[in-house]
Amino acid sequence: MSKPLTLTVNGRDHDLDVSGTTPLLDVLRNSLGLKGSRYGCGLEQCGACMVLIDGAAEYSCSREVGTLAGYSITTVEGLGTMEALHPLQQAFLDEQAGQCGYCLSGILIAAKAFLDRNPDPTRAEVAAALDRNLCRCGSHPRILRAVLRAAAVMRRQVA
């Protein structure tokens, strides 16, 4: 039995008629057409599904949508636009940080949450912050370079 609920995603309110036990990831992809968040494992083990929930990077594969009324959710589509990429997105392009790209939306989200907390991290701190995100292509060295590059750009923007 479903009851209507309102979900705030990327700054917009969406009225939904889905079961409250539906995983957030399914709602994002299937109801809202936001395909950037990926299904990898469904078991909180890969990070491909990560989104920001009130600024914290969370797994969307396991989060029931009925628990999210009143929260602000940001997906990778909400980070930047094609015309104005987020510095993280630009840095990932500049460093050619992806191969297949499957992991990248979750990694961008995890990196965004981390840099908001720690704008001037060491490489080891970035690696620790991305500990929950798997990249099966083994792009970790370039991903770490990209996050550090973005951090430098973001620091200049606020200086």
Binding site for ligand FES (CB under 6 A): 39-42, 44-49, 59, 61, 98-103, 135-137, 139
Least distance (Å) between residue 146 CB and ligand FES: 11
Q: Is 51 helix (H, G, I), strand (E, B) or coil?
A: strand
Residue nearer to ligand FES on the CB measure, 93 or 157 = 93
Least distance (Å) between residue 49 CB and ligand FES: 3
Least distance (Å) between residue 37 CB and ligand FES: 9
Residue nearer to ligand FES on the CB measure, 98 or 121 = 98
Residue nearer to ligand FES on the CB measure, 62 or 157 = 62
Q: How far apart are CA 19 and CA 6, in angstroms?
A: 12
Q: How far is CA 119 from CA 14, 32, 68, 113, in A?
A: 32, 32, 28, 10
Relative to beta strand 5-9, strand 72-74 is parallel
66 DSSP 8-state letter: G
Question: In terms of Cα–Cα distance, which of 140, 137, 77 is closest to 109?
Answer: 77
Residue nearer to ligand FES on the CB measure, 63 or 86 = 63
In sequence order, which residues have a C-beta less than 8 Å from that of residue 79 and are 6 or more positions away? 86, 88, 89, 108, 109, 112
Least distance (Å) between residue 140 CB and ligand FES: 9
Tokens of 123: 């490489």
Residue nearer to ligand FES on the CB measure, 42 or 66 = 42
